Structure formats: C-alpha cells, structure tokens
Amino acid sequence: MKDKIINILTAFETDHIGKSFPLEYCLPLYHCVSDDHLPHIRHVINYKNSRQFEDDLDCFSKHFQMISWSEFKDFANGSFKPKKKVALLTFDDGFRQFYDVAVPILERKGIYACNFINPAFVDNKDMMFRCKASLLIDTLEKTNVIAPEIYTLLSLENNKGKEALINSILKIKYQEKDILEPLAEQLGIDYRAYSKEQKPYMNVQELKMLTEKGFGISSHSWDHPQYGDLSLGQQMETTDRTFSYLKEQGFLHEAFAFPFTDFGVKKDFFDELFKNKEIRFSFGCAGIKLDSVERNFQRIPMEMGESGEKILKKETAYFRLKKMMGKNKIVRK
C-alpha cells in the first residue's frame, strides 16, 4: 500500500527537481558502475551500467550544483554560498570499478566523488561477506546437482529447492559469516583465488592515485558490519581502527559513512565518534530524511532499478508524506 501511495504522489512531482527538492543538499549514493556481470556484486547490489550512470550525472548536474568535499564542509558551516542547491556524490565499498569505470566518466564531466572504503578489503586481502554470498548464489544458480550438505549447513530440508537456499544465503549476517567458508567448499569456490584473479577492490596504489587526482577516500568501517548489531565498544573499535589506517595512508579522515545503514545506532555512538575533533560528519543512507544528530547526513541510494530522476522524485514525494505524519526526522536516544 505504501509503495502505491508513493507512486501516485510521485506522478504529481514537477520536472523542476532542484526547486522542489525539500533539502538544500542532495547526497546520492552508489557502490558500483559496470557494464559487466559481476558475480560477487550482482545478487546483492543492483548496480547501474555506464550509460545509466551518465544519465544520472546529467540529471544531478542539471538540477544541482555539484560540489567537492571541501565545498561541502564550507556549505555545512555556512561559509559557502552556492548558486543553487548542492549535490555531493558518494560511493561505498571501494570496488575496482570506481577506478576503472566511474572515475573516467567523472573526470570527463568535472564531477567530484568520495568513496568510503573498508581497509580489510584493500589490495583484495579479503572480500566482504555479502560479496561472498553473491558469489555463492551465482554459482548455485548454475549448479544442477546440489549437495545435501549445503541444505544441512543452512538448516534446511533437502526438498526446499534453490530459491530457499538463495534466500537463506542472503539472510546470513555479519556475525554468521563463518558459515560462508564451508558453503564455498561445497560449491567448489575459492574466495582467495577469485579475489586474486578478479580483483574486486581497488589496491592502495590506486587509492593514492585517486587522492592525487582530487577524489576523496574515507571511512566505511574496517570490514563492513551492521552497526546496529554491535555494542558501543565494537562500533568504536572498527571505527577507530579504520581512521588510524586512513591517517597512515594520507587519505581523507574527516568523514565516516555507515556500512549498510545507521538504523538502530544510538546517540551514544555519535557522542563518542565526534570526540575525535578531526571527524566533521557522518553519513547514513535513509534517503531524504533529517537527523537529530545534526552532523549525521542521510544519503539517497541510487541503485534501486530506476533512473536517478525517478528516484529523486519518489524520495521527494515520500519526504512530503513523512513530513505530514511527523516522521521525516530520525530521533536518536
């Protein structure tokens, strides 16, 4: 019902997106841009191809003033006066396609972006657990005979079929990620060999080259846990470890973007986070939404199977609906 209401309201949104956009800033979020089938991403992220990405960029550039990290900082403290509403482009996870595909497009168009990375995966030393799950699913879809041990590992009955297996794999959480290793053995997958051959992530030399080009490389936690499932001590451990790495490498250490979402993260985390005076802002991904933590900004996921223009219109319509119900602001306790 909610989706039907939002779609109806979206139809009434004007094409003057910048003027109707309810906030003074727009924060689009991507993970990957590729024209290829990427087994380690395809089943967990609905990434866009290069043409779709360029269309989105043209939409942003038409309706917003695209800005850099330094300009965003000045905008947030009131010292930067843009000609129109601003947009800061962000990426998460540090996938290699940012370097190979997205950056050449961004350079041609003169658009800045910041990529929030997980140091555990730099140089392809490891792969995020959700990417391992995607690789399992990609292999499973091509498998005719499924070993009964796979069902046993997932606590499923043998007659449940592939769909049940896939759904079960997609539900595996960070705390349960060790089960991905025996599943890989059953399906004949070697994660390390795959990482060595396919190089899913950027290496440190590429990250430093991007920094020299003027792009931002910043914090996304050490290895991509769901923060709402961690204790405060665990949240700070993975966060502090990542900022130490960023400083050592000479990367941007003024910002933090939550892996997955900041849903369920309490005020005490932000209190601890901003004790580090070098950290200016943090970022969630709840769409167009305000936050009771003023230095925590919500980004708009753009990999939803629709054009950037359509997503911005839907988000605007949804924000108006939430505002009428008094639910357009996240309140931390």
Q: Tell me, letter by letter, the H, E, C secondary structure of 249-309.
A: HCCCCCEEECCCCCCCCCHHHHHHHCCCCCCCEEEECCCCCEECCCCEEECEECCCCCCHH
Write out the DSSP string of 18-78: HHH-SSSEE-EEES-B-SS--TTTTTT---B-HHHHHHHHHHHHHHSEE--HHHHHHHHTT
Per-residue confidence (pLDDT) for residue 62, from 0 to 100: 97
For range 158-185, the mean pLDDT: 95
Residues in the chain: 333
Does residue 9 surpass a pLDDT of 80? no
Instruction: Summarize pLDDT for 77-87 with one digit per residue, the tens.
Output: 999 999 999 99
Query: Given this model, what pLDDT does residue 158 score?
Result: 81
Does 88 score more than 70 pLDDT? Answer: yes
Cβ neighbours of 142 (radius 10 Å): 8
| Closest C-alpha to 92, from 209, 184, 202 | 202
Identify the pLDDT of residue 7: 75
Whether the CB-CB separation of 251 and 202 falls below 8 Å is answered with no
Give the Cα separation of 94 and 207 in Å (integer). 9
* DSSP states along 214-262: T-EEEE--SS---GGGS-HHHHHHHHHHHHHHHHHHT---SEEE-SS--
Which one, of 63, 65, 49, 55, lies nearest residue 110 by Cα? 65
pLDDT in tens, 33-45: 999 999 999 999 9
d(CA 115, CA 319): 26
Token digits of residue 251: 């990367």
Contact 113, 54 (CB under 8 A): no
pLDDT band at 28; cut points 50, 70, 90: very high
d(CA 155, CA 149): 10
The whole-number average pLDDT for the span 10-25 is 88
Which two tokens mark 296? Answer: 């925590």
In this prediction, residue 159 carries a pLDDT of: 75
Instruction: Give the pLDDT of residue 15.
Output: 86
Domain ranges of the chain: 2-126+202-330, 129-196
Asked if the model's pLDDT at residue 201 lies above 80, the reply is: yes
pLDDT tens digits for range 158-170: 877 899 999 999 9
pTM listed for this prediction: 0.96
Average pLDDT over the chain, rounded to whole?
96
pLDDT in tens, 264-299: 999 999 999 999 999 999 999 999 999 999 999 999
- Proportion of the chain in helix, strand, coil states, percent, rounded to 5: 50, 15, 40
pLDDT value at position 297? Answer: 98
Q: CATH topology for 2-126+202-330?
A: TIM Barrel (3.20.20)
Report the pLDDT value the prediction gives residue 161, as an integer from 0 to 100: 86
Give the confidence band of 12 by pLDDT, cuts at 50, 70, 90. Answer: low
Q: What is the mean pLDDT of residues 192-201?
A: 98
Q: Which of 58, 50, 40, 138 is nearest to 100 (CA)?
A: 50
Does 5 have pLDDT greater than 80?
A: no
Q: pLDDT tens across 227-260, in order? A: 999 999 999 999 999 999 999 999 999 999 999 9
The yes-or-no verdict on residue 319 having pLDDT over 70 is yes
The SS3 call for residue 134 is: helix
Tell me, what's the pLDDT at 46? 98
